[in-house]
């Protein structure tokens, strides 16, 4: 078992009481004109991190900070970091070297590290990186105003306290980089699954679910602003569970999905990520009942071999995963399923790798996110197993996985030629402003010629004419 106590990690160098923060906020507002200071934020890693950056933007807006896309004019540079693989951490270090040049040219600019790497490395940041003024973990963003205040007084500030309760339920995210049509809503935080390869339980703490009524209110607000699609986000959405201690009312993920789908039939609902051990038939039946719940499930398998799955502590084996795919095919015959796959986990044999290839083929994943194993300090696997697959073998296995998945994706897409899909227009296609792009329910991107009178946020019927392994090309037909 993992033995750190996530709720008690971290140190805090300034007043921990809420009152301190509130007091500071008042002082701050008195001395800073709204929008007179600018912050620049860069996000790495999962969608959850991007969603957190929108919460950070909201907290900063409350104390007069306006977002900027131009790092050179910012007073505060934030980098919301990911620890999931070593490479992600290397990217962040490189960006910090770049921010150093900005800071030199603009003395007084503060640099803050947020997110999973802040949580993983804690005080080490302040010891190792002279450039970093601020280190803030994923559960401490409410404290940003007071921490920033500390940096203004010349201190280097840190709060990496994890929480058992924080869900930021009452904070309305400021939508950054938004297309105005699709948005993410965080429904829970943390993770209680102890996948042996994964650093997330250590960086994001214990699992907790957000009040469903605040989620539905956020979805309704987005719909009123013109958004037409929300994605409910959590590390393991199937274990969403909220109960009201006073009334005893209890809401599970199937019920939350239904409540969100009922906001409006024109509001599409997606969700990510599902865990094969927890994904219930009840959720599948709820998806079947509502046309606006998208028929797409991201159901990471990680490996196709039961022994490796056991070592990964995924708590299911291959037959269990296959039986979940069969349930999807039975209840939602039109649904697409995608996956995450790790190549070259500790002690994985060639035969076991072949089983990963065979499950890609068997499950007919529409797409996958594919990685080779990267040992993360402190994880169960790092402590228990040798990272004994040489890098060139990991890379070769990963390439075989990518090659096969690309062929399976192409075949999956070819099966759509001639079919007509309802598509939500998201905006211009990347290549041409004569074309729109948008997704179908199965989360496939379609590109098609524009027609007068249509705009982003509209639904159109599109017939597929041609495909690549990544995109469907089509034409608008009468609905």
Query: Rule CB under 6 A: which residues touch ligand SF4?
Result: 45-46, 48-49, 82-84, 115-116, 199-200, 203-204
Q: Considering the rule CB under 6 A, would residue 420 count as an interface residue with ligand 5AD?
A: no
Among left, alpha and beta (phi > 0; psi -120 to 50; other), residue 285 is alpha
Binds 300: which of ligand 5AD, ligand SF4, none (CB < 5-8 Å by kind):
ligand 5AD
Nearer to ligand SF4, 200 or 381 (CB): 200
Q: Considering the rule CB under 6 A, would residue 314 count as an interface residue with ligand 5AD?
A: no
Q: Considering the rule CB under 6 A, would residue 135 count as an interface residue with ligand 5AD?
A: no
Q: Considering the rule CB under 6 A, would residue 227 count as an interface residue with ligand 5AD?
A: no
Among left, alpha and beta (phi > 0; psi -120 to 50; other), residue 138 is alpha
Instruction: Name the token pair of 460.
Output: 């159109």
Q: Considering the rule CB under 6 A, would residue 197 count as an interface residue with ligand 5AD?
A: yes
Q: Considering the rule CB under 6 A, would residue 300 count as an interface residue with ligand 5AD?
A: yes
Nearer to ligand SF4, 45 or 212 (CB): 45
Residue 424, C-beta contacts closer than 8 angstroms, at least 6 positions apart: 181, 182, 228, 229, 268, 438, 439, 457, 458, 459
Nearer to ligand 5AD, 84 or 460 (CB): 84
Q: Binding string, 60-99, against ligand 5AD, x = CB under 6 A?
A: ------------------------xx--------------
Using the contact rule CB under 6 A, the part of the chain among 312-320, 350-358, 373-381, 460-468 near ligand 5AD is 373-381
Q: Considering the rule CB under 6 A, would residue 255 count as an interface residue with ligand 5AD?
A: no
Q: Considering the rule CB under 6 A, would residue 376 count as an interface residue with ligand 5AD?
A: yes
Cα angle at 169 between 171 and 149, to 5 degrees? Answer: 45
Q: Considering the rule CB under 6 A, would residue 359 count as an interface residue with ligand 5AD?
A: no
Nearer to ligand SF4, 204 or 353 (CB): 204
Shortest gap between Cβ of 120 and ligand SF4 (angstroms)?
8
Q: Considering the rule CB under 6 A, would residue 302 count as an interface residue with ligand 5AD?
A: yes
Residues that bind ligand 5AD (CB under 6 A): 84-85, 197-198, 300, 302, 340, 342, 371, 373-374, 376
């Amino acid at each position: 078992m993992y033995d750190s106590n996530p709720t008690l990690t971290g140190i805090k160098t300034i007043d921990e009481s809420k009152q301190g923060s509130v007091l500071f906020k008042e002082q701050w507002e008195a001395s800073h004109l709204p929008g007179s200071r600018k912050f620049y934020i860069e996000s790495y890693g999962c969608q959850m991190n991007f969603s957190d950056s929108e919460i950070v933007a909201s907290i900063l807006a409350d104390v007069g900070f306006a977002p900027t896309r131009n790092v050179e004019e910012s007073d505060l540079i934030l980098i919301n970091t990911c620890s999931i693989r070593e490479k992600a951490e290397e990217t962040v270090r490189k960006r910090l070297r770049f921010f150093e040049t900005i800071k030199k040219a603009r003395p007084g600019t503060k640099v803050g590290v947020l997110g999973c790497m802040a949580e993983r490395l804690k005080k080490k940041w302040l010891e190792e990186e002279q450039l970093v003024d601020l280190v803030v973990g994923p559960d401490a963003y409410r404290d940003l105003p007071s921490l920033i205040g500390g940096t203004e007084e010349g201190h280097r500030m840190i709060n990496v306290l994890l929480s058992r309760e924080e869900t930021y339920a009452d904070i309305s995210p400021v939508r950054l980089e938004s297309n105005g049509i699709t948005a993410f809503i965080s429904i829970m935080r943390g993770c209680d699954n102890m996948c042996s390869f994964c650093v997330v339980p250590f960086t994001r703490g214990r699992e907790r679910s957000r009040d469903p009524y605040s989620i539905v209110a956020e979805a309704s607000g987005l719909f009123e602003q013109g958004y037409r699609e929300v994605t409910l986000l959590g590390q393991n959405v199937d274990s969403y569970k909220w109960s009201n201690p006073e009334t005893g009312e209890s809401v599970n993920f199937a019920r939350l999905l239904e409540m969100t789908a009922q906001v409006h039939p024109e509001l599409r609902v997606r969700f990510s990520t599902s865990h094969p051990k927890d994904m219930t038939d009840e959720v599948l039946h709820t998806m079947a009942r509502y046309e606006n719940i998208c028929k797409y499930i991201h159901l990471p398998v990680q490996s196709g071999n039961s022994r490796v799955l056991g070592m990964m502590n995924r708590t299911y084996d291959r037959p269990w995963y296959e039986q979940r795919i069969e349930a999807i095919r039975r209840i939602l015959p039109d649904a697409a399923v995608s996956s995450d796959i790790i190549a070259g986990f500790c002690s994985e044999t060639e035969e076991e790798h072949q089983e990963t290839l065979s499950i890609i083929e068997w499950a007919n994943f529409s797409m996958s996110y594919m990685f080779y194993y990267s040992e993360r300090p402190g994880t169960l696997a790092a402590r228990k197993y040798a990272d004994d697959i040489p890098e060139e073998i990991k890379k070769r296995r990963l390439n075989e996985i990518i090659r096969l998945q690309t062929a399976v994706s192409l075949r999956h897409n070819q099966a759509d030629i001639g079919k007509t899909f309802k598509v939500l227009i998201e905006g211009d296609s990347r290549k041409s402003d004569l074309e729109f792009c948008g997704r179908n329910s199965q989360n496939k991107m379609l590109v098609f010629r524009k027609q007068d009178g249509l705009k982003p946020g509209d639904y159109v019927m599109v017939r597929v004419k041609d495909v690549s392994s990544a995109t469907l090309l089509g034409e608008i037909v009468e609905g």
